[in-house]
Amino acid sequence: MTYTVGSYLAARLSQIGLKHHFAVAGDFNLILLDELLTNKELEQVYCCNELNCGYSAEGYARACGAAAFVVTFSVGGLSAINALAGAYAENLPVVMVSGAPNTNDYATEHLLHHTMATHDFAYSLEIARKITCCAVAVTSPEDAPAQIDMALRTALREKKPAYIEIACNIANASCAAPGPVSAILSPVPSDAESLEAAIVAAAEFLKSKRKPVMMIGSKLRAAGAEMQAIALAESLGCAVTVMAAAKSFFPESHPQYAGIYWGEVSSPGAREIVDWADAILCVGAIFNDYSTVGWTAMPSGPNVLIADDGHIQLAGLDYSQVRLDAFLSGLAARIERRDATLIEYRRIRSAPAAPPSADPAAKLTRVEIFQQVQSLINSDTTVIAETGDSWFNGMHLSLPHGARFEIEMQWGAIGWSVPATFGYAVGAPGRRVIALIGDGSFQLTAQEVAQMIRRRLPAIIFLINNHGYTIEVEIHDGPYNNIKNWDYAGLVQVFNAEDGKGKGLRATNGGELAAAIETALASREGPTLIECVIDRDDCSGDLISWGRLVAKANARPPRPQ
Ligand code: TPU
Ligand code: MG
């Protein structure tokens, strides 16, 4: 078989396990798209715009471990930058492939369309360098295989996005055949001495403690160490709390699960048990202003052990080039049982009282919505929670074994969840994908519902219409938090046009919501959007408390000079 630069890229994407790539066409990438289409193992999936295309790939990477998307030069690529930087923040290997100008036009007096009418064509690559772990421009078929391999290898190793720009007249040029895929997939091993030293030091540290607790963070999945974290937890026997951004990365059905740790807005008992502990094992944690609730809940000091992929810190010691999976499983084999925090957690946790069933004709409330959403969640469900009160409402959902939860808490860009739901559903067709989205967020990327309709994906979108940017209202209110209302349910009809099977429904009371959910479950040939209409001030108590503390952190005056 002979290869072109484009079919080489397709072969590599397929070899690393992708079955799809996302795309928006443009003249600089059309030949490349043709070449990608020659690979029958790889399906091309289209999006309405490049930002959504990037988020779709980001959602796909959450389901499948990696993703790729193709855009045209500059006008496409710059739109997708937000999603690419988001993939960096969220530790997802998303590869953005951009078409690029004909090589004959570089370093000439020519001006090109889709540029700023200057002779600089390098700015896309330069911007990409800032927000990816590897950015390459392919302008010769001889160099293409090595450049493509380097970008894919770096992205997969670092769990960060990469950028590959391919000149439009190179995409179908002949190039060498790919070698073994292990050149891209082989992992970087730990430094054996550092690993051993880190395990010995951590085992000593734990031996000197009576009440250790584990805290699971969102970098655990990227490190591929979820099973090893369970093994360590079981060997230690302690309580295991999970940070909000890592919900579902440690199973909530596990007997040692001790709730969501999120400072003042933790689930019952989780904050108390962390405060009570004499050692905190932070595994893949990210402590930022939001996760520490405006810097009010930041574990620090000599009792904290920080375990990240590539990096272990404790008691004034620092070990680098240590793989997290190897560290956790190595440590699990060397420690003594320390279950005091689990016993204490079971004493202090107070199960939240189940709200009384609402009159089906009573005006819809947030509490009623989430009670009904809860009853939908089974082991095949993935919940996707958008920035807004959906973050806080989502935290209260209890996940049975196998259920997954996706949240974009580090990047926190509203609008992410509509295309991410689309991408996730493309990547995980067997799962029930449920999205929780506020009205304000939905307005940024609404059109991607059309692609769910096009591919007949039965995702269920709960669009919470509280008539505004409520999360911002709770941080700081003003006229800018009011938004134009839409007929959200009616929008689905617009997207259906002549051939779509999507459903748009509106619920203003519990009875209507229950009926809408039944319709959604029976609907296998397209998405269902359920607009849930509630009062503007009907938000979670956690959002109010968190918003007050975040506002306080934002309002700190400048330090005196
Ligand atoms: O439930 P609720 O009302 O809080 O959610 P909704 O209606 O989706 O409103 C979200 C409001 C919001 C804004 C405007 N949350 N964060 N922001 C700031 C923001 C602006 N632009 C981007 C791309 N991301 C943001 N987080
Ligand atoms: Mg809203």
Name residues whose C-beta falls within 8 Å of residue 216's C-beta, 6 or more positions apart in sequence. Answer: 229, 240, 241, 242, 243, 246, 249, 250, 283, 284, 285
C-alpha 465 to ligand 2 mean position (Å)? 6
In a domain, 359, yes or no: no
- Any domain includes 354: no
User: Which atom of ligand 1 lies closest to the CA of 474?
Assistant: 4
Both 510 and 531 in a single domain? Answer: yes
> What is the residue with the minimal CA distance to atom 9 of ligand 1?
469
Query: Are residues 209 and 326 both part of a single domain?
Result: yes
CATH number for the domain harbouring residue 141 = 3.40.50.970
Residue 59's domain comprises: 3-185
Q: Quick one: 483 and 532 in the same domain?
A: yes
Q: How many domains does the chain have?
A: 3
User: Is residue 226 within 6 Å of ligand 1 at its C-beta?
Assistant: no
CA of 470 to the centre of ligand 2 (A): 5
Smallest CA-to-CA distance from 14 within 201, 165, 148 is with 148
- CB of residue 412 inside a 6 A radius of ligand 1: yes
Please report the atom of ligand 1 found closest to the CA of residue 440: 7
Single out the residue in 313, 348, 383 at which a domain terminates.
Answer: 348
180 plus 204 within the same structural domain = no
Q: Are residues 521 and 433 in the same domain?
A: yes
Q: How far apart are CA 91 and CA 406, in angstroms?
A: 13
Q: Which of 185, 220, 245 marks a domain boundary?
A: 185
Which ligand sits nearest to residue 446's alpha carbon?
Answer: 1
Quick one: which H or E segment has residue 197? helix 192-207
pLDDT tens by residue, the chain, 561 residues: 899 999 999 999 999 999 999 999 999 999 999 999 999 999 999 999 999 999 999 999 999 999 999 999 999 999 999 999 999 999 999 999 999 999 999 888 899 999 999 999 999 999 999 999 999 999 999 999 999 999 999 999 999 999 999 999 999 999 999 999 999 999 999 999 999 999 999 999 999 999 999 999 999 999 999 999 999 999 999 999 999 999 999 999 999 999 999 999 999 999 999 999 999 999 999 999 999 999 999 999 999 999 999 999 998 999 999 999 999 999 999 999 999 999 999 999 987 777 777 899 999 999 999 999 999 999 999 999 999 999 999 999 999 999 999 999 999 999 999 999 999 999 999 999 999 999 999 999 999 999 999 999 999 999 999 999 999 998 899 999 999 999 999 999 999 999 999 999 999 999 999 999 999 999 999 999 999 999 999 999 999 999 999 999 999 999 887
How does DSSP classify residue 48?
S
Q: How many C-beta neighbours within 10 Å does residue 272 have?
A: 16
> Does residue 166 share a domain with residue 79?
yes
DSSP tag of 176: P
Q: How far is the CA of 413 from the centre of ligand 2 (A)?
A: 14
Same-domain check for residues 240 and 331: yes
Residues 119, 474: Cα–Cα separation, whole Å:
47
164 and 136 in contact (C-beta within 8 Å)?
yes
Beta partners for residue 248, in sequence order? none
476 and 436, same domain (yes or no):
yes
What one-character-per-residue DSSP string does 85-98 give? HHHHHTT--EEEEE
Residue 499 in tokens: 């051939």
279 & 373 share domain: no
Q: Helix or strand or coil: residue 154?
A: helix
Dist CA 522 CA 181 (whole Å): 42
Task: Evaluate whether residue 123 is within a structural domain.
Answer: yes
CB 64 within 8 A of CB 43: no
